[in-house]
């Protein structure tokens, strides 16, 4: 079975092709074998960087221009496959920027009509979760506690089985990725902020070694919002404001302390994410902890979560780096698990919606 995935929820245009086992073989297997034949991502960072964030109108225009190019790149890198070989088209339908979503959904509908293929709309956040099912080494065990951290979402979700989600915590204001992006802007670092802050913070790791030897401590301390609250919710707006005031009231040049602030901001965000996950894991006793979303590319977060999992003796599932930020391979993976019991995809297509919905929540 070949699934073509299309992802345009934000500022990345991506098309992927996934090969999955045909039904007869699949049912006899203990685990599903998925093979990503292509996962082409066209980034719009260069377009949006001068504005310090995503400009929705520009994003939509870029998707429109890039979609046919990214599709042909995906097909030609997949052993000469053509649209006729595809069994199912999957497209991200939400949540995301409405104008971006509409471009992808319309493109997918047009392809489905032209080549007479079944079409299914996929939730973007579910896509991030399923980036953990693309690697064939360790499949997450259920129940899984999912820490979803992206530019627009920060959620703790309990996943009892495929497609079954219970929201147990969420951000009450900014998402973790948004905090990285906003703090990066205050510090005069580039867009996207996550990788920029991580790179700036890494400068301090090196200096830190020297400082530790000299017994010098870092001076800058930022708050860990809601660290001790009784629920599993997050808040990052206060942290951003604390950085804003810190920079406003600096007596030293920002150049002298930028790396130190970036280092402490990253520590604060990761501390909160990992502590809340620990609390939730102690209550819900999952068999695996699963990390998802663009912020899962963060090295510090990846290693702290791994440490937590070893301490709690639960399986740790962290997506390979190439599937952490927005990509269409993860959309194909959701489509596969949603449709693998269907005997007739064409008949089932009438039940599946593929309409852009900017606010589509999974739980």
Give the interface with ligand KG4 as residue ranges (CB under 6 A).
Answer: 10, 150-152, 177, 180-181, 192-195, 198, 293-295, 297-298, 325-326
Residues paired with residue 121 on neighbouring β-strands, in sequence order: 91
Strand arrangement of the beta sheet that strand 88-94 belongs to: 34-43, 12-20, 2-7, 88-94, 119-123
- 295 contact, one of Zn ion, ligand KG4, none, CB 5-8 Å limit per kind: ligand KG4
- 225 contact, one of ligand KG4, Zn ion, none, CB 5-8 Å limit per kind: none
Cα distance between residue 147 and residue 293, in whole Å: 8
Residue 25 or 206: the one with the smaller Cβ distance to ligand KG4 is 206
Binding interface with Zn ion (CB under 5 A): 150, 326
Residue 13 or 78: the one with the smaller Cβ distance to Zn ion is 13
- 152 contact, one of ligand KG4, Zn ion, none, CB 5-8 Å limit per kind: ligand KG4
With contact defined as beta carbons under 8 Å apart, do 147 and 292 qualify?
yes
Q: In whole angstroms, how close is the CB of 177 to ligand KG4 at the nearest point? A: 3
- 298 contact, one of Zn ion, ligand KG4, none, CB 5-8 Å limit per kind: ligand KG4
Phi, psi of 355 (to 5 degrees): -120, 135
With contact defined as beta carbons under 8 Å apart, do 191 and 45 qualify?
yes
Q: In whole angstroms, how close is the CB of 124 to ligand KG4 at the nearest point? A: 6
Cα distance between residue 303 and residue 306, in whole Å: 5
Q: In whole angstroms, how close is the CB of 180 to ligand KG4 at the nearest point? A: 5
Cα distance between residue 317 and residue 140, in whole Å: 6
Residue 75 or 332: the one with the smaller Cβ distance to ligand KG4 is 332
Q: In whole angstroms, how close is the CB of 35 to ligand KG4 at the nearest point? A: 23
Cα distance between residue 66 and residue 49, in whole Å: 18
């Amino acid at each position: 079975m070949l699934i073509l995935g299309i992802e345009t929820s934000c500022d990345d245009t991506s098309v992927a092709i996934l090969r999955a086992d045909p039904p007869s073989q699949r049912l006899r297997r203990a685990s599903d074998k998925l093979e990503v034949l292509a996962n082409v991502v066209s980034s719009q960072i260069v377009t949006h960087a001068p504005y310090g964030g995503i400009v929705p109108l520009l994003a939509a225009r870029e998707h429109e221009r890039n979609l046919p190019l990214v599709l042909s790149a995906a097909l030609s890198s997949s052993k000469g496959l053509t649209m006729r070989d595809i069994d199912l088209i999957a497209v991200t339908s939400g949540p995301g920027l409405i104008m971006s979503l509409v471009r992808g959904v319309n493109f997918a509908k047009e392809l489905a009509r032209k080549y007479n293929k079944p079409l299914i709309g996929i939730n973007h956040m579910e896509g991030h979760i399923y980036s953990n099912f693309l690697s064939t080494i360790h499949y997450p065990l259920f129940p899984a506690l999912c820490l979803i951290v992206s530019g627009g979402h920060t959620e703790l979700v309990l996943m009892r089985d495929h497609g079954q989600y219970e929201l147990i915590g969420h951000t009450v204001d900014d998402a973790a990725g948004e905090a990285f992006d906003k703090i990066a802007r205050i510090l005069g670092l580039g867009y996207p902020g996550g990788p920029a802050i991580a790179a700036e913070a890494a400068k301090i790791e090196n200096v830190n070694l020297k400082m530790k030897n000299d017994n010098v401590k870092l001076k800058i301390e930022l708050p860990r919002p809601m660290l001790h609250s009784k629920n599993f919710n997050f808040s990052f707006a206060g942290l951003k404001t604390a950085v804003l005031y810190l920079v406003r009231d600096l007596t030293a040049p920002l150049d002298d302390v930028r790396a130190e602030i970036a280092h402490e901001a990253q520590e604060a965000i990761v501390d909160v994410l990992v502590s809340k996950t620990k609390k939730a894991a102690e209550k819900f006793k999952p068999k695996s902890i699963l990390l998802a979303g663009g912020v899962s590319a963060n090295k510090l977060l990846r290693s702290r979560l791994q440490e937590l999992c070893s301490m709690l003796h639960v399986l740790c599932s962290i997506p390979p780096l190439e599937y952490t930020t927005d990509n269409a391979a993860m959309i194909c993976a959701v489509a596969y698990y949603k449709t693998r019991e269907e005997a007739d995809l064409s008949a089932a297509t009438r039940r599946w919606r593929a309409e852009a919905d900017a606010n589509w929540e999974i739980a």
